[in-house]
Amino acid sequence: MAGALRIVSGLVIVGAAIFAGVLYRSPWIVLLLTVSFTTLYVGGKLPQWRALARIEGPGAVLKGLMVTLPIQAVLACVFYLVGVGVGALLGQRAFASHLETFDVTLAGALLALGLIATAGIHVSEAGAARNADPEVVLSAEIRAIMDEAAELGEQVVAMPVQIFSLARRLADHPDRHEALAAMDGFFDDDNAFVRRVAFTALRFMGQGGRDLDPRALDRRIIAGMGDAAVWVRYDAAWCAGDIKGDDAAFAAALREMIATAQAAGVDQLDANDAAHKALLRARASLEAIRQR
């Protein structure tokens, strides 16, 4: 579906420029077509432009546009001139002297149809990405993170910086759907270090990450507070306190986590003990939910 839309929209864009040349419309129409060409080019590569803005900032986006505009202008001009050549063969001899309503309408219609097609392409590709085999569709960066997580899962001891580094890379990845697709396997991993990566990344993503798949991620947070590994329970409880979701279920899971810890005498443990820290985090998150 997405591939067909790209082909059709590309043909329409090129065809509009050629059509304008065939009719010997005013050469100034190339400027209007350049705006349409550039807008549709950016729309077709929106994830890359978003990544550029996130990593390099608005200044880099502006520089990219300054490079893109003349390139698209040349393309629009080339296709227009192709049309001019066809028009000459058909007997056209005189260019329109100035831009007319027809020219604005043609360029505007091209832009509108292109934007609709671009939106359809993104929707289609997003749906395909959610349903396809993750190993096929995930980017090289996400696959690299997954490979490093697999190596982490083989370790008996892991430094917190390893967990936080992988989690930060997931949270900062420009395609949140892709990152969540990778994280889905991390939540169920046999190794607690890898499960911690998922919960830490979710916490780094914050509300925006959770809201991409609220039911599934709320369920993950609730299940995490009953995890066999104390540090995973700690991370899941932290998520429950920082992220608004199914707060009633979050609170119930936190209360159960606290009751279990108290029954095991965790209150009597050293303040630096992992179980004691998890208990304190659960209490803090429960209070945060009460204050929401």
Q: pLDDT tens digits for 186-207? A: 999 999 999 999 999 999 999 9
pTM beyond 0.85: no
Q: Which residue has the higher pLDDT, 269 or 58?
A: 269
Confidence grade of residue 136 (pLDDT, cut at 50, 70, 90): very low
CB contact at 8 A, 167 and 204: yes
106 vs 19: CA distance, rounded Å: 10
Per-residue confidence (pLDDT) for residue 135, from 0 to 100: 46
Rg over alpha carbons for the chain, rounded to the nearest Å, is 27
Confidence grade of residue 134 (pLDDT, cut at 50, 70, 90): very low
Per-residue confidence (pLDDT) for residue 218, from 0 to 100: 96
Domain 136-291: give its CATH architecture: Alpha Horseshoe (1.25)
Q: Which residue has the higher pLDDT, 128 or 116?
A: 116
Per-residue confidence (pLDDT) for residue 48, from 0 to 100: 65
Confidence grade of residue 77 (pLDDT, cut at 50, 70, 90): very high
Residues of the chain with CATH 1.25.10: 136-291
Instruction: Calculate the CA 151 to chain-centre distance.
Output: 25
Among the ranges given (18-22, 109-113, 173-177, 265-269), the one the predictor scored with the smallest mean pLDDT: 109-113
